[in-house]
C-alpha cells in the first residue's frame, strides 16, 4: 500500500476538436463551473481534425478565471523546449500561475515526421526528454547568473538569456509507460501522467511502475513523494452498480478513486470526457466524496 499523502486533484481531459471550434472552450468552462481543478488537452499537431493545443490553451486561459490548464501531454518532438519554456512562462504570468506542463516523448512517429519532426528510436526519445527538461528549467531559472548553455544530442542552447520567470513553479509531468521513461520520471520530473486505459494490467500495473519511479528518485537523491502521480481516466456513470472499473454511480466512482489514492498513491484524477453532464458529476459529486473518503482513512 503506497500513499504519498498528496492532496487529491480532479480535472478534465478534453478533445481539442476543430469542428466546432468553440466546443472544447465550452467544455473548459463547464469544467471550471463544476469545480474541477484542471482542464487539459491532448496534443497531436499532425491531426488536422484538432486545433493547435497551445493556441487553444491560451484562448481557454483568457476565458476562464480559476481553473488550471495543461497539455496532456504536449508532443515534445514538435514543440522545441526553449520556445515551449518561454510560452509556458508567459502564459503562467498572464494567468497568475494557472499553467501546468505535461510532456511526452512522442508517439505516432509517421505523423511527427510528416510535420517536419525527426523520427527517434526509443532510447533517443528518452534522452531527448531529459535534455528538454534541462533546457526548460534552465530558462526558468532566472535566479541563476549568466546565460543558459546546454549542449545536448537533441536539444541545446548556446547562451540563451533566461526568463521570463513563471508566476509560480510550473510542475513538469511526464507521460511514461516503459522502464526507461519511468526511471527518467523518477530522476527529474515533478509528476507522472499516464492513462489508465494504456496500462497493460490496468490499475494493477501501478504498483510495479511506481516502484520503478521510486527507485530512480531515491537513487537521484530525491524523495519518491516529490513525484506526484496523476491518471487519465475513462469510465461510465450509471444509475446503479456498474459491471467494471469506473462504471457505476458517483459513489461507486468515489470509492474506486479513493482506493487508487490509498493503495497506489494516485492524487490527480483526470476524466477523459466531452460530455458536460459527466464533468458535472465528476466535479460536484465524485470529487468531494473521494476527498472525504481519503481524508477519513488517512486520519485513522
Q: What is the mean pLDDT of the chain?
A: 97
> Which residue, among 71, 59, 8, has the nearest Cα to 37 in the 3D structure?
8
The mean pLDDT of 248-271, rounded to a whole number, is 97
Beta-carbon contacts of 295 under 8 Å, excluding residues fewer than 6 positions away, are none
Is it the case that residue 156 has pLDDT exceeding 80? yes
What is the per-residue pLDDT for 193?
98
Is the distance from CB of 174 to CB of 191 less than 8 angstroms? yes
The mean pLDDT of 113-138, rounded to a whole number, is 97
What is the per-residue pLDDT for 243?
72
Is it the case that residue 279 has pLDDT exceeding 80? yes
Is it the case that residue 61 has pLDDT exceeding 70? yes
Q: Checking DSSP bridges between strand 157-160 and strand 148-150, what pairing results, if any?
A: antiparallel
- Residue 271 forms beta bridges with which residues? 12, 233
> Which residue, among 101, 23, 5, has the nearest Cα to 275 in the 3D structure?
23
pLDDT cut 90: percent of the chain above it: 96
Considering only 85-89, 117-121, 210-214, 237-241, which range has the smallest mean pLDDT? Answer: 237-241
The mean pLDDT of 43-58, rounded to a whole number, is 97
What is the per-residue pLDDT for 1?
67
Superfamily of structural domain 7-297: Luciferase-like domain (3.20.20.30)
Model-wide pTM > 0.85: yes
The mean pLDDT of 58-70, rounded to a whole number, is 98
Distances (CA, A) of 122 to 107, 149, 180, 207: 10, 25, 9, 23
13-47 in b/e form (b: 16+ CB < 10 A) is: bbbbbeeeeebbbebbbbbbebbbbbbbbbbbbbb
Amino acid at each position: 500500500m503506497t500513499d504519498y499523502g498528496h492532496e487529491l486533484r480532479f480535472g478534465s481531459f478534453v478533445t481539442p476538436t476543430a469542428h466546432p471550434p468553440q466546443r472544447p472552450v465550452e467544455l473548459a468552462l463547464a469544467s471550471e463551473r463544476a469545480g474541477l481543478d484542471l482542464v487539459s488537452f491532448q496534443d497531436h499537431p499532425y491531426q488536422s481534425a484538432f486545433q493547435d493545443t497551445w493556441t487553444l490553451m491560451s484562448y481557454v486561459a483568457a476565458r476562464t478565471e480559476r481553473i488550471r490548464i495543461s497539455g496532456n501531454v504536449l508532443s515534445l518532438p514538435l514543440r522545441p523546449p526553449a520556445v515551449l519554456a518561454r510560452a509556458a512562462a508567459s502564459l503562467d504570468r498572464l494567468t497568475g500561475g494557472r499553467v501546468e506542463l505535461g510532456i511526452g516523448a512522442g508517439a505516432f512517429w509517421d505523423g511527427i515526421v510528416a510535420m517536419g519532426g525527426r523520427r527517434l528510436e526509443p532510447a533517443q526519445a528518452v534522452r531527448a526528454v531529459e535534455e528538454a527538461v534541462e533546457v526548460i528549467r534552465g530558462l526558468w531559472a532566472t535566479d541563476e547568473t549568466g546565460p543558459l548553455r546546454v549542449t545536448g544530442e537533441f536539444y541545446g542552447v548556446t547562451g540563451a538569456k533566461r526568463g521570463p520567470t513563471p508566476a509560480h513553479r510550473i510542475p513538469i509531468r511526464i507521460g511514461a509507460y516503459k522502464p526507461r521513461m519511468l526511471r527518467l520520471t523518477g530522476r527529474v520530473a515533478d509528476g507522472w501522467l499516464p492513462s489508465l486505459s494504456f496500462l497493460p494490467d490496468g490499475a494493477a500495473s501501478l504498483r510495479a511502475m511506481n516502484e520503478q519511479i521510486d527507485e530512480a528518485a531515491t537513487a537521484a537523491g530525491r524523495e519518491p513523494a516529490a513525484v506526484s502521480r496523476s491518471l487519465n481516466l475513462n469510465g461510465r456513470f450509471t444509475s446503479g452498480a456498474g459491471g467494471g472499473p469506473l462504471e457505476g454511480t458517483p459513489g461507486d466512482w468515489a470509492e474506486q478513486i479513493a482506493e487508487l489514492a490509498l493503495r497506489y498513491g494516485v492524487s490527480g484524477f483526470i476524466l477523459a470526457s466531452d460530455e458536460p453532464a459527466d464533468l458535472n458529476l465528476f466535479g460536484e459529486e465524485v470529487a468531494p466524496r473521494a476527498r472525504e473518503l481519503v481524508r477519513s482513512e488517512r486520519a485513522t
